[in-house]
Amino acid sequence: MAATETAGSEPALAPACVNAVPRLPPGQAEAWVGFLAAHAQVTRRLDAELNARFDLSLSALEVLARLAWADHGRLRMSTVAETALLSQSRVSRLVDSLEERGLVERASCPSDSRGVYASISDAGRELVGRALEWHWEHVNELFFSSLSAAQVSQLGAAWRAILGHSVTAAPDSSAA
């Protein structure tokens, strides 16, 4: 492991003129790398289990949940995209596949006929109820069970600072 260039008689071992590769100071490195690793670990597990048990991706669950929480169980496509942090095109295709499964339906928007409503069906409500129940259990297990109440509120404060209070956190509660 090249334990430091101990000087002495250096062979022609030209160190390749290594232009120092910048690093983050250790404290920040833990906060940053941990953030990425925790996100990857937790979301991968949630997504895999959700797929296996309900044949839903995390994004599909998020879309269904937003619809279920909305008045009349429907939202315009573009609203879904904004709140679920997805592109319009992604939402369009996601709704295609949910529609094929009978979980949502498209409906025209009377007040503005460029708009299209996505509307959750009874079957969709039933499924998202079961899926979310399971999902929150595992969010608790994978995320919250390791944290104290104080840590949970610290995290909330950190996110508020990072996201200039443009936090799209659903009418009153949370999402997938």
Residue ranges binding DNA (CB under 7 A): 48, 51, 57-59, 76-79, 81, 85-96, 106, 109, 112-116
For the bound state, the minimum distance from the C-beta of residue 63 to DNA, rounded and expressed in Å, comes to 9
For the bound state, the minimum distance from the C-beta of residue 128 to a copy of itself, rounded and expressed in Å, comes to 6
Question: Which residue, 25 or 110, has its beta carbon nearer to a copy of itself?
Answer: 25
- SS3 of residue 31 by DSSP: helix
Backbone angles phi, psi at 86, to 5 degrees: -125, 160
Rounded to whole angstroms, the Cα distance separating 7 from 174 reads 59
Question: Which residue, 42 or 109, has its beta carbon nearer to a copy of itself?
Answer: 42
For residue 21, the partner it binds in a copy of itself, DNA, none, with Cβ less than 5 to 8 A by kind, is: a copy of itself
For residue 10, the partner it binds in DNA, a copy of itself, none, with Cβ less than 5 to 8 A by kind, is: none
For the bound state, the minimum distance from the C-beta of residue 93 to DNA, rounded and expressed in Å, comes to 6
Question: Which residue, 45 or 147, has its beta carbon nearer to DNA?
Answer: 45
Cβ neighbors of 118 (< 8 A, separation 6 or more) are 63, 67, 74, 75, 76, 77, 80, 91, 95, 104, 105, 106
Task: Calculate the CA 145 to chain-centre distance.
Answer: 19
105 forms beta bridges with 119
Q: Which two tokens stand for residue 132?
A: 């979310």
Our separate counts of H helices and E strands in the chain read 6, 3
* DSSP H/E element including 133: helix 122-142
Question: Which residue, 114 or 145, has its beta carbon nearer to a copy of itself?
Answer: 145
For the bound state, the minimum distance from the C-beta of residue 28 to DNA, rounded and expressed in Å, comes to 22
Question: Which residue, 74 or 95, has its beta carbon nearer to a copy of itself?
Answer: 74
For the bound state, the minimum distance from the C-beta of residue 144 to a copy of itself, rounded and expressed in Å, comes to 6
